[in-house]
Amino acid sequence: MTKQQLLQSELRPGEALLWSEEPDALAFLTGERGFMLFFGVAWLSIVGLMSMSEEKSSPDWFFSLFGLIIVAGPLWELAKSFFTLYGITDSRLLIVRRYPWAHEVESFIDRDIRFLRKTRRKFGRSSVVFTSVSYEGSRGRVHHRDIGFFGIDDVDLVEALIEKHFRYRELGTLSAASDFNTSR
């Protein structure tokens, strides 16, 4: 089953698919991930050059393993892009991932869409982010992960479809004065 067939099979009765697109893989290697990939490759190159020297004062495998761990994260993100398909229906936003061993479908409805942030980049690596999740890391630091459609061609069309078919609440805006308890 292809990603497109999987997306079609996830549609509910009467639900219409308005848009779908596979992401550009390079969009997953921007910012921090791109830096980590560059750093990891540079690290592995230096370790490789050091291992060719005649003087060996440290275990090369340890430094090589460290470099491989650094490179693994960005490469996994790049690999995930090849398995991903985005879709917009008249009632949901869908992120479908079809791996060789399983498939995964993330579905977002009105209440899940908290904001729209459109980023237009050169070379077709634009994105529309519609929600974000926060989680606490192992050292107590709070991390944020954006959720949206990354590496898409026509961000204006995607933004227009979301605005037309979904009601979302902008973070930081108030829907009514009754949101506050004004009694004293």
pLDDT score of 138: 80
Give pTM, 2 decimals. 0.72
Q: What is the pLDDT of residue 96?
A: 92
Q: What pLDDT is stored for residue 134 in this prediction?
A: 86
With contact defined as beta carbons under 8 Å apart, do 162 and 15 qualify?
Answer: no
Three-state DSSP string of 23-83: CCHHHHHCCHHHHHHHHHHHHHHHHHHHHCCCCCCCCHHHHHHHHHHHHHHHHHHHHHHHC
Taking a C-beta distance cutoff of 8 angstroms, is the pair 6, 96 a contact? Answer: yes
Work out whether strand 93-98 and strand 117-119 pair parallel, antiparallel, or are unpaired: unpaired
Q: Are 5 and 58 a contacting pair, CB within 8 Å?
A: no
The tens digit of pLDDT for each residue in 22-49 reads 988 777 666 677 778 788 888 878 877 7
Percentage of residues of the chain with pLDDT beyond 70 = 84
Decide which of 130 and 181 is more confident: 130
Tokens linked to 80: 């995930």
As a whole number, mean pLDDT of residues 66-80 equals 81
C-alpha torsion 43→78→27→118, nearest 10: -120
Domain ranges of the chain: 21-82, 89-171
Here the tokens at position 91 are 């009632």
In the block, tokens 């650094």 appear at: 70
Rg (CA), the chain: 21
Torsion of CA 9, 10, 12, 15, to 10 degrees: -90
**β partners of residue 107:** 94
* Chain position carrying tokens 């009514």: 176
Q: Each residue of 116-174: pLDDT tens digit?
A: 899 887 766 788 999 888 888 788 888 888 899 988 988 999 999 999 988 765 544 43
The mean predicted confidence, pLDDT, of the chain is 80
Residue 59 is predicted with a pLDDT of 63
